[in-house]
Amino acid sequence: KMADGSDKENDGGGSCHRNLPPNRDVLVPRSDVACRNDAVVFVHSQMYVDLCNNLAKVPGRASAVHGLIEAYGLTKELRLVEPRPATVAELTSFHSTDYIDHLRKASAEEDEEKDIDVSEEFGLCYDCPILPGVYEYAAMVAGATLTAAQCLIDGECRVAINWHGGWHHAKKDEASGFCYVNDPVLAILRLRERFSKVLYIDLDLHHGDGVEDAFCCTSRVMTLSLHKFDTGFFPGTGDIHDTGMGRGRYYTVNVPLRDGIQDSQYFSVFNKVVSQAESCYRPEAVVLQLGADGMSGDPMGCFNLTPQGVGRCLAVVLDWKLPTLLLGGGGYHVGNTARCWTALTAQVLGKSLPQDIPEHEHFTEYGPDYELGITPGNRVNHNTDEYVEEVINIVSENLAHVM
Ligand SMILES: O=C(CCc1ccccc1NC(=O)c1cccc(C(F)(F)F)c1)NO
Ligand SMILES: [Zn+2]
């Protein structure tokens, strides 16, 4: 049964300029699905921060993020909810049992006995080494994201945040790009038990391939990713002409961009594409992956964005007043990632923050200016206005098929 009780998925055919919508849409006013509670759930515990600190690809980032949010006094405005580890049943709602079993066994191996992680099997090698405890880490991150999704389903809040989630590359039976468990997919599957249409938006520098793969054949989840797309750049997928398959055709949206893009052009693309997607698709819930590796100053050195630019994108999504799950992702400059997610957390709370970084444990990360804002670099922008216009036109034509 699909979430809305229908037996089969509709084919999503027809055009955006719809004739009379199926009568159930007429009967379910939009306000019905958005919850009335304007609390903001923030999934947090010290143990969770410690776990992420030690095992994430960027050691120490989790406590820097949490430390800055706390230093600005935002934690007392948030509804803090403790995470619990995802169960095997929850993990295998997307991942294969073989993969999860392997991850659990390999993670339990002591260092010396390690003889299995060189196998390519399950993608557990180079980029995704099997570190002791990686299973507990992945299960806790997935559990944290599921906890946030559950709060949205229960109407506890309208926005729920897990900055330590957003691991969008993990596949059904393969780790990838340092992602072991695909927590965005697990959250979307959980949200689908309550909402018949979920929109996933991925603003990480990298293409959200694992989430796109999971839902490429269904019209019940629309995945929309803005990312760098260039020869040889990881993961290599996310071409503008990849629009999904079968019943999912046109419900996969890819917005391929080049190095050097800045806030104004990025927002212009985002606003045109995402606004059309929302008005055509009319989702009932949103999952937004806000990986910060596109920030100016990130060691990835590709995009040239600032938290202000991404904040304008977030404002568009928050204006829809839909149940919204915010996740993190990449972000390899610890200070800038903390700056970005702190600024976005304040925005969700409707709080404006002083530019001076408050004195706190991680204060030294923010030198030499010790300011919250990030100034864009003066690097070459390879996104000509003609290129951006062409991208918008192609994406817009595809979206016109969405009903
Ligand atoms: O950010 C990612 C994953 C990036 C990635 C993909 C494939 C293999 C390795 C990685 N991770 C990095 O490239 C990486 C991880 C930590 C730090 C850095 C740094 F060099 F940019 F700092 C880079 N997805 O949104
Ligand atoms: Zn990334």
Structure tokens at 370: 């010790």
Q: Is residue 35 predicted with pLDDT exceeding 90?
A: no
Amino acid code (one letter) for 298 = D
Does the beta carbon of 12 lie inside 6 Å of ligand 1?
no
Q: How many angstroms separate the CA atoms of 201 and 270, rounded?
A: 10
How sure is the predictor about 70, in pLDDT bands with cuts at 50, 70 and 90? very high
In this predicted structure, what is the pLDDT of residue 29?
46
Does the beta carbon of 277 lie inside 6 Å of ligand 1?
no
Residue at token pair 């600024």: 343
In this predicted structure, what is the pLDDT of residue 403?
78
Distances (CA, A) of 335 to 267, 332, 338, 362, 367: 23, 9, 5, 9, 9
Atom of ligand 1 nearest to the CA of 176: 7
Q: Is residue 87 predicted with pLDDT exceeding 60?
A: yes
Which residue's CA is the nearest one to ligand 1's atom 20?
A: 299
- Average the pLDDT over 303-329 and give the result: 98
Ligand 2 center to 286 CA (angstroms): 20
Q: How many angstroms separate the CA atoms of 316 and 304, rounded?
A: 20
How sure is the predictor about 252, in pLDDT bands with cuts at 50, 70 and 90? very high
Is 333 assigned a catalytic role? no
Does the beta carbon of 204 lie inside 6 Å of ligand 1?
yes
Ligand 1 center to 234 CA (angstroms): 9
Structure tokens at 311: 């904040």
Ligand 1 center to 127 CA (angstroms): 9
Top pLDDT among 198 and 130 is at 198
Q: Is residue 94 predicted with pLDDT exceeding 80?
A: yes
Distances (CA, A) of 141 to 52, 64, 113, 137: 8, 17, 26, 6
- Average the pLDDT over 82-99 and give the result: 98
Distances (CA, A) of 397 to 223, 243, 316, 357, 389: 16, 11, 21, 45, 12
Q: Across the chain, what does the average pLDDT equal?
A: 91
Tell me the backbone φ, ψ of residue 40, rounded to 5 degrees. -120, 115
Structure tokens at 381: 């922008």
Sign of the Cα torsion 346, 159, 185, 264 reads negative
In this predicted structure, what is the pLDDT of residue 247?
97
Ligand 1 center to 204 CA (angstroms): 11
Q: How many angstroms separate the CA atoms of 343 and 335, rounded?
A: 12
**% of the chain surpassing 90 pLDDT:** 83
Choose the catalytic residue: 169, 227, 333, 362: 169
Does the beta carbon of 208 lie inside 6 Å of ligand 1?
no
In this predicted structure, what is the pLDDT of residue 122?
84
Enter the ipTM: 0.96
In this predicted structure, what is the pLDDT of residue 19?
45
Does the beta carbon of 299 lie inside 6 Å of ligand 1?
yes
Q: How many angstroms separate the CA atoms of 268 and 272, rounded?
A: 6
- Average the pLDDT over 253-278 and give the result: 98
Note whether 34 and 158 are within 8 A (CB).
yes
- CA atoms lying within 13 Å on the CB side of residue 279: 11
Q: Choose among 279, 235, 211, 225: nearest CA to 255.
A: 225
Note whether 280 and 173 are within 8 A (CB).
no
- Average the pLDDT over 188-204 and give the result: 98
Does the beta carbon of 94 lie inside 6 Å of ligand 1?
no
Q: What is the pLDDT of residues 102-129, one digit of tens each?
A: 999 988 876 545 555 556 788 887 778 8
Does the beta carbon of 125 lie inside 6 Å of ligand 1?
no
Pocket test for ligand 1, best of 289, 332, 336, 337 (most atoms within 8 A of CB): 332
Ligand 1 center to 203 CA (angstroms): 15
- Average the pLDDT over 345-363 and give the result: 98
**Nearest 5°: CA angle at 43, between 351 and 235?**
95
Least trusted range by pLDDT, from 64-73, 76-85, 125-134, 290-299 = 125-134
Ligand 2 center to 167 CA (angstroms): 9
- CA atoms lying within 13 Å on the CB side of residue 390: 9
Q: Of the ligands numbered here, which is closest to the C-alpha atom of 167?
A: 1
Cα-trace Rg, the chain: 20
Q: Is residue 257 predicted with pLDDT exceeding 90?
A: yes
Strand bridging mode 285-289 / 252-257: unpaired
Does the beta carbon of 293 lie inside 6 Å of ligand 1?
yes
- Average the pLDDT over 307-323 and give the result: 98
Which residue's CA is the nearest one to ligand 1's atom 2?
A: 330
In this predicted structure, what is the pLDDT of residue 115?
52
